[in-house]
Each structure stands twice: as structure tokens, then as C-alpha cells.
Amino acid sequence: MDDHPEPSTVRVFVALAPPDEAKDELARALRPAYAGYPRLRWNRIEDWHITLAFLGELPSTAVPPLRSGLAALAASRPALRLGLRGGGQFDDRLLWSGIDGDLEGLHRLAADVRELVGSCGIEFGDRPLRPHLTLARSRRDDSTSVPQAAAGLADFVSRPWRTERLHLVGSNIGRGPGPIRYRDIEAWRFGTALRAGGGSAPAEP
């Protein structure tokens, strides 16, 4: 008897993740904020990501065709050259770092991901892409910590990096109390079909 059956639904999104070196660079810049704003609910560094499409709660049966489509999409695309720049906030409640670099390519990738999701018969809230890396959330009675922490990141600029993989991620958002946790359902390297076919993949920075 299976004591841990697979859930019938899964809450998922499609995302990119900065490499460890870029996350470490931002974490060092955030040290004053970690100490200065202890009431913020900080995301775990390993959970930092750039959401391309948030799909919400899906039947588990919807995931396999999505996986095969995303694998093919990633294989056919070169890596993007991106970076992290500055900080900002949404509604004084959510702290983020901005995305720099090949934003045109990032928007094209997000549009193609969303088109693929739609072709799989999955309906989702297709909101305009606002590229960012979510860092922390404030408590309901704290309206000052997030704007102040965002101002402290105004001059931050990371070194550029290349995206390595396209990630299909599951989360526990909306499933009871406790911190938000994310896990990779699967991730696919960019440009594998280009390399296999003799195409030129971008050099690493």
C-alpha cells in the first residue's frame, strides 16, 4: 500500500533560475537588508527564479504533454544572456530584484512558452510579463520595510550570466501555513538540438 500517493493536482509554473554565482552575488548585496529588516519573510536563495508563465493548479495528467513540449522548446533555443539590476517593490509588500540583459529574447521565450501551454489545452491567467526575481514579502502590518529594502538595492548590478535550463516547477502556494517551497518537476538544457545539429551555440561569458 502506498503511504504517499501522488497528488491528483499540482501547482506549477515555468521559470528560469540564475546560476549559483549570480545568486551568491545578490545575497552578499542583501546582507544589510537581512540584518536591517528581520520582519520580512525572505525567500530561500535556492528558490529564487524568474517566472515565465504561472499556470496555477493543474491536474497531474496535464503535466506529461507539457514536459515533452517544454523539452523540445528548450532544446531548440540558445541560452539567454541576462543579469540582475537594482531592486523594486509591488504594492509595498513584495521585494524584488530586476532583470537586465537580453530582455527582448526573454519576452520572446516567455511568449513561446505561453503559446505552448495554450496548445496543450491548459488555461491560465496570461498576465503581461514583468521580469523580476522575488526576494521577500512583508507582513500585513509592515508597510515600510519593502520600499526601504528596495531603495538599498538601487545601485546593485550583477555580472552577466547565461541561462542554463528551462524549469518546470511545482510549489506549495496556497496549501496551508508555512513558508512557500518550490521543487523542480523537471528542467531542460537550452540549445541541445542546436549543438547536435551542428548549429552554433553562444559561447559562455
Active site residues: 49, 132
Q: How far apart are CA 134 and CA 73, in angstroms?
A: 25
Find the helix or strand (DSSP H, E) in which 83 lies.
strand 81-90
DSSP code for 204: P
Nearest CA to 37 out of 155, 153, 148, 141 is that of 148
Which residue, chain included where needed, has cell 541576462? 82
Report whether 84 contacts 100 (CB < 8 A): yes
Displacement of CA 94 from its chain's centroid (Å): 15
State the CB neighbour count (10 A cutoff) for residue 1: 3
